Amino acid sequence: MKINKEGYIIILVSALIIAGLLFLLNWLIPIKIIVGILAVMGIILFGLIIWFFRMPPRIPVIDGNKIIAPSDGKVVIIEKVHEPEYFNDERIQVSIFMSPLNVHAQWYPINGKVKYYKYHPGKYLVAWHPKSSTLNERSTLVLENDKGEEILVRQIAGAVARRIVTYSKVGDECKQGEEFGFIKFGSRIDLFLPLGTTIVTQLEEKVQGSLSTIAEF
């Protein structure tokens, strides 16, 4: 199983801390069965950390007419809203909530270029909070395809997430299904799409990044 590069240091540090604690507990606690139980708990915790940073092999959907899910998770919002940061007009918002058990990488939903990028420090409201899209720590990308159609993708930190990683910068080419970022430990992704876009996903639907179709131009 491939591990995302964002997990290398965390996995190494976690292994050293867990191993150190177990060695210390083995020395301090004479009752070996207790040490054994704690060792099993430590191994399970370490396994969960590795699982969080997994990168399963995927063959992304490549279709210029489709907008593909930028992340794994569950669709929690589909509605028409006013988008104030970049478009300053009405757009269709589609939000995907990622639990700590989802793959937390993000993939470009369309082909084109990165037209806009901005990182915003902020709060850490729970990711499903209505105002998390504008108040939480977040990064905003606007992508433009070769037809001049623009979509906005927003990475949002949640109550547990404490670091958003975005590899993109303005002017970069974006290839549908190519990884562009990672959010550590629970979060949400918002898409803001042009009015008239055909939404093919549904509320509560579980989607997979780079594989599931969210909408069509």
Q: For 80-103, what is each residue's pLDDT tens digit? A: 999 999 999 999 999 999 887 888
- Cα separation values, 75 from 26, 69, 72, 157, Å: 46, 10, 9, 16
pLDDT tier at 124 (50, 70, 90 boundaries)?
Answer: low
Beta-carbon count within 10 A of 190 CB: 23
Q: Is 71 a catalytic residue?
A: no
What is the DSSP pairing of strand 179-184 with strand 138-144? unpaired
CB burial of 166-180 (b: ≥16 within 10 Å; e: otherwise) equals: bebeeebebebbebb
Mean pLDDT in residue range 180-185: 85
pTM: 0.83
CB burial of 8-27 (b: ≥16 within 10 Å; e: otherwise) equals: eebbeebeeebeeebeeeee
Q: Quote the mean pLDDT of the chain.
A: 87
Superfamily of domain 66-216: Glucose Permease (Domain IIA) (2.70.70.10)
Options 133, 168, 187, 210, the catalytic residue: 187
pLDDT tens-digit readout, 20-64: 888 887 777 777 787 778 788 888 888 888 887 888 889 999 999
Query: Of 91, 140, 88, whose CA–CA distance to 115 is shortest?
Result: 140
Query: Of 164, 174, 178, 167, whose CA–CA distance to 210 is shortest?
Result: 178
